[in-house]
Structure 1
Amino acid sequence: MRTRYLIGIEFEYLLTSKNDYSADGLRFYNNIAVKDLSTVLENRPGAGDPTLYHDSEGVKNGYWYVEGVERYTREGKLLDQAVKGLEVRTPPTTSIGAALNQLLRLEHQLRVRLMRTGLDLAVAAYHPTAPPYVFDPPLAAWEEARRLILPECRLADVAMLTYGPDLNFSLPDWSETQLVAAAEKLAWFAPYISLFTLNAPFAEGNAWGGLSRRTSVRGNRRPACFAFVAEPKDHPLLRPHARVPNVAGSNTRRSTRLRAHTCSAPAVPSFSACFSIKRCHSAASLSRRASTTASLSILSVTAV
């Protein structure tokens, strides 16, 4: 019997001038600010979509938003955001093809808005010209504490320079045992899958010297898989359930987020991918994570 699932896709893009598609035309935190993207962010589609995660600060809202490093005051109030690029995410769909079509449709809508401001989208696995990101001003005590609590914040300076897609599969018929077993299996295979991510040979404006700067700085610094369950135990792959508001209370979701690396078809440079496999009690409780592009080579979920 065919496995029932939902899939959503997120994809991270660099920003570039529509009049200069060379490395000199790239727009990054040192030459573009969030305020410069106001017309792109105003009245964006998907605002308030209950199937996706929306933070209380309004950064992650709608089907696209600014991706970057958020900076906070000593009291924990959002102060500013260093622009890395833009991220597009699709609502959950019932097939891979439908998710890819959604992504391409949203990408087109976003590009139309960007073109009006003199900007466009670009794709790369690692920023080819930017120097290492440095927190300026240095992190406040509240920010340091946040990095200790949230694993995804600990490598914010590294993630600032890397780009890629996130794939999220919701499997409502899977048990928690099946999800954890899949996560453990993918973690075991991850070093072999990582061989397909050798795709970022440029860094700081020069040939890096290795096959992939992105794989070098990210491949060994995060667990390959995260399993989101209701009551995480002392296990390196387990995390609390995802932060979608409508899964709270009696609608607790058990989910597994699998991080892996894969490659793209020739049309787009290869990139690293995040696979998310989730168990939920309803379609509305699909995880906050969603993403890919039409050229992504997807590993078989049934083979995991």
Structure 2
Amino acid sequence: MQFFFGLEHEVAFLNKEGKFADFSCTKFTDFNQIVEKLPIYPDDYLQLRVGDAGIRMKRWYIEGFERFANSDKVIDCVSKGIEIRTTIHSNIQNAIDELSDSFRLLCEIATKFNYSPVLTSFNPYKTVFEPQPPLNDYELKQLQAYPDEQTANIYMVTYGPDLNISVADLPIETVIDIGKKLTYYSPYIVPFSYSSPFYNGSLWDGLSVRTFIRTGKRPAALVFVQTQEQLINSTPSLTKIARLPAEVGRIEFKACDSCDDFSMYAALLALLKGLILDQTLLGRATTPDADLHQLSAKEGFDNENIFANATKVMQAVETALKDDPDYHLLTPLKNILAKRKTKSHELIEVFESVGSIEDTLRQTYQVSKYHQQ
């Protein structure tokens, strides 16, 4: 099987006042001055979608909520952070290397404008996004046409990766079946990545407020298909029409929290690869089990059912990858499973010792690893 890999990673920032830089205090132009200084790679457009508003011209773009005049004219983009996306690679390590390089470049430029990257998967202060001014008729009509867009109030306060994986020449029915498999096993996979223990300005009672609020209303996995007939009717969507030829057959795993150590993304991509190769795990679901994700979000691997199933997934993946060069990439996940401790446990511990969310977030991304302080 010939696999292909790509990543999308959302970066949140603290501003020069040391405040969390979200839509309440950051304008499009504040983030855009950073993006403008980053390079363009002319060949990327064959693989990376530019979109109508022209906001996505580069590997970096401003993630946010586009506002329209009462027509198809974009007049603003309410901003939540900067997303990095990689081009498509035929091995995992190359995708991780490109993400690391792009992140390093982003840090260098952001620092010049007094923005510093921090890890979070849910806005630590804002619990919802309410568009101001309220949506006009054109915008409301747009949202009604796309059911997943109606959850903008969720995605504007969440930060998370898309782990993109595809296999050459698979029939679309097989790809959709893989999407259902990843959706079914999602509650047992996502705790490896948990990094959102803050909510509404304080500690949340659990490990991933992002998973608790998001998964069920938004997809765990999304499969890009070529034609209308191949779409499966579900809410949230499991399938979506590809917008570029390079997207056909791509599976985006969307349910993980963000990671500040990119070797975790390598490990998670290797896990997804192993799940695709595995023939023993038979669970399938068209939409994510919201209750199970909420249990997982609260308790993680401390929950015996979640832990037992995660162990079962890991064993199946290890067997499927036993002779594969990517087998060694699973190590960080095996360590987490052995200790039953996630990034959220670490963040909670730091918060309990320093007493401030910002000071806790400042200790993420092992800053020295990516750029000089």
TM class, shorter-length = 0.7 to 0.9
Query: Greater share of helix residues, 1 or 2?
Result: 2
Aligned to 1:15: 13
Q: Give yes or no for the alignment of 1:243 onto 2:237.
A: no
**Alpha-carbon distance between aligned partners in 2 of 1:254 and 1:186, rounded to the nearest angstrom:** 18
- The superposition leaves residues 186-224 of structure 1 with CA deviations (integer Å, 9 ceiling, x where unpaired) of 222233334556542211101233443211110221233
TM value normalised by structure 1: 0.79
- The 3 A distance-change label for structure 1 pair 115 and 223 is closer
Q: Secondary structure at the match of 1:301?
A: helix
Q: Which amino acid aligns with 2:21?
A: R
Q: Say which of 269, 274, 285 aligns to 1:302.
A: 274
- What is the total number of aligned residue pairs between the two structures? 267
**Equivalents in 2 of 1:120, 1:54: separation in Å?**
26
- Asked if the contact 1:190–1:260 (Cα under 8 Å) also holds between the matched residues in 2, the reply is no
Question: Quick check: 1:186–1:260 contact (8 Å CA) kept in 2?
Answer: no
Give CA-to-partner distance per residue, 1:61-106, whole Å, 9 cap, x none.
2010111111111112111111101101111112110110100101
Question: Equivalent residue for 1:109?
Answer: 105
- Cα drift, residue 234 of structure 1: 4.4
Moved more, 166-175 or 98-107: 166-175
Residue in 2 that maps onto 1:26: 20
Within the candidate set 34, 37, 45, 2:31 is matched to 37
Matches within 5 A, 1:98-137: 98-137=94-133
Alignment partner for residue 85 of structure 1, among 77, 81, 96?
81
Distance, in Å, in 2 between the alignment partners of 1:56 and 1:126 is 27
Residue 46 of structure 1: CA displacement?
3.5
1:30-69 alignment runs, 5 A limit:
30-42=24-36, 44-46=38-40, 48=42, 49=44, 50-69=46-65
Q: Equivalent residue of 1:132, what SS? A: coil
Aligned pair in 2 of structure 1 residues 234, 171: CA closer, same or farther (>3 Å)?
closer
In the superposition, the TM-score normalised over structure 2's length comes to 0.65
* CA deviation map 1:243-299 (0-9, x unaligned): 12xx2xxxx97424343534677x65xxxxxxxxxxxxxxxxxxxxxxxx3332312
Secondary structure at 1:10 match in 2: strand
Residues 5 and 91 of structure 2 are in contact (CA less than 8 Å); yes or no, is this contact kept in structure 1? yes
- How far residue 38 of structure 1 moved from its aligned partner, in angstroms, is 3.6
SS at structure 2 position matched to 1:66? strand
Structure-to-structure mapping, 1:91-240, within 5 angstroms: 91-196=87-192, 198-231=194-227, 232-236=230-234, 239-240=239-240
Change (3 A) 1:54 1:101: same
Measured at CA, do residues 10 and 264 of structure 1 come closer, stay the same or move farther in structure 2, by a change above 3 Å?
closer
The answer to which of 110-119 and 128-137 deviates more is: 128-137
Which runs of at least 4 in structure 1 moved beyond 4 Å after TM superposition?
A: 194-198, 262-265
